[in-house]
Structure 1
Amino acid sequence: MKENEWDKNLTDRISTMVKELGADITGVADPQVFTNPEYQGNNPLTLLPSLKSIILIGVFIPKGAFLPLPGGRGLYTNTLMAGTATLRVMAYHVARELEREGYIATIAPSEGSEFGYWYADKNTFMADFSMKYAAYSAGLGSFGKNHLFISDAFGSRVRFTAILTDAPLQPGTRSETFIHQACMNCSACIDACPPKALKHDGTISREGCAKYMFETLGGLRCGMCIRACPLSCQDEKGV
């Protein structure tokens, strides 16, 4: 989309609405970013050819869910699910508002941003699109060596959902760096990964990660790469 095709008033209204619903992070990504050669995942434009905007809605996950790890995985998993439920309600309100304005809107599942364990291809563990890449492209943050999205305020303690819509919203500008600067000389997440799914060469074994959670942990979430991250859980007295 060209700049003169954006509906800035609608963009501002939706942003205000999302914040009033309780979101901690929000932004808009242009779906054309998924045509970039650097991007290796699935393209949401194949699902919705009329797609013009991807609205990101994020909430932070309290540190209290991470600090007991590796014990207390039930507490951690339940807190993540609470974040997911919260995001679904927010996104549903926004999707309905967009439809009232004459646009179509559908909600991408939060779990789809974590290799799509519940919703995506069970052979490739890839979601319909990378929500993390959309958040990065919207200028909300960057990536960490743990292959998760990192925000300056909350590290990787962020849960996202996304709304796909044909509304012409104004997109953000992508972050200047793909990998967060603080990650350059740090390998805490790699060293803390129980199944050794995170590699020092920058790759990840999605199969190893999934097998550990769904077989070893019986479906509970792991969270150790976030627990070990100085950007996410360093100050136990802070938010």
Structure 2
Amino acid sequence: MVESDITHDMKDMALGLGADFVGIVGPAIFENPDYAGNKPQDVMPDLKSVVIIGVSVPNGAFDTLPKGRAEYTNTLMAGTATLRIIAFQIAKFIERKGYKATIAPSEGSEFGYWYADRETLKADFSFKYASYYAGLGNFGMNHLLITKDFGARIRMTAILTDAPFAEDERTLLPLVNDACSSCMKCVEICPAGALTKEGTIHREKCAEYMFNVLGGLRCGMCLKVCPLY
């Protein structure tokens, strides 16, 4: 049974708590042959829905980069804290409706904890891949999700649940944003050389730069120069 009523109520609640967008996908997309990440159903075998919740990040956090990396990182973490409060309330709502829910971490490393696999640098599943199939946006050359209203200047979290939420009707965008082919600003600005014009990302270079060169602060230069916001 598809829970249309609680889907509507859940989305309204998330937006009322401060979310800027909400999307839902089922676990089947993670069985696609083009998906190379981990699967959330390995965490929750009876998974029925992945709920993506996002907030936009204030533009001022990007304007001061690179000198303002401390302020930028602090602003991102504030976005993460906001999302966790929203997601916690949504998870409680889901459980009051008779289902179970748990919140997936939004980054490989936050607040002193390491969530991703240290060797592959992959999390339990790709939020961006789920968001693409939820119709929330498509990918940039910086390998970030490009949303229609906020570009890549966003933070996201996800809830795994056995609630059979109703997925939105949607038309998938091209996988890579059309504007990226004639831009390449993120590739050119990347101080770690982690991005290539062929569309490859070297995650280990990005991680090395953030954790060793910047001491754990986030970089943000590929977002600063992206014109799509």
TM-score strictly above 0.5: yes
Interval containing the TM-score (normalised by the shorter chain): over 0.9
Say whether the 8 Å CA contact 1:136–1:174 is kept in structure 2.
no
Say whether the 8 Å CA contact 1:113–1:130 is kept in structure 2.
no
CA shift, 1:118, in A, is 2.8
Partner of 1:44: 40
Structure 1: give runs of 5+ residues left out of the alignment. 233-239
When normalised by structure 1's length, the TM-score is 0.92
CA shift, 1:164, in A, is 0.3
Partner of 2:167: 171
Partner of 2:128: 132
Partner of 2:3: 7
Does the alignment pair 1:76 with 2:35?
A: no
Partner of 2:156: 160
Q: 1:17 aligns with which of 13, 20, 41?
A: 13
Say whether the 8 Å CA contact 1:113–1:132 is kept in structure 2.
no
Say whether the 8 Å CA contact 1:113–1:131 is kept in structure 2.
no
When normalised by structure 2's length, the TM-score is 0.96
C-alpha distance 113-163 of structure 1, shift in aligned 2 (>3 A): farther
Partner of 2:212: 215
Q: 1:102 aligns with which of 95, 98, 101?
A: 98
Summarize deviations over 1:168-227 as a string: whole Å, max 9, x none.
001233622111121121101100100110011111110000000000001000000000
RMSD of aligned Cα (Å): 1.4
CA shift, 1:52, in A, is 0.4
Summarize deviations over 1:71-97 as a string: whole Å, max 9, x none.
110000000000000000000000001
Q: Which moved more, 1:214-223 or 1:25-34?
A: 25-34
Structure 2: give runs of 5+ residues left out of the alignment. none
* Partner amino acid, structure 2, of 1:139: G
- C-alpha distance in 2, partners of 1:174/1:66? 31
- C-alpha distance in 2, partners of 1:25/1:54? 14
- C-alpha distance in 2, partners of 1:21/1:42? 30
Number of positions where the alignment pairs a residue of Structure 1 with one of Structure 2: 226
Displacement over 4 Å in runs of 4+? none
Partner of 1:180: 177
Percent sequence identity over aligned pairs:
55
Partner of 2:85: 89
Partner of 1:227: 224
Does the alignment pair 1:199 with 2:196?
A: yes
Say whether the 8 Å CA contact 2:135–2:171 is kept in structure 1.
yes
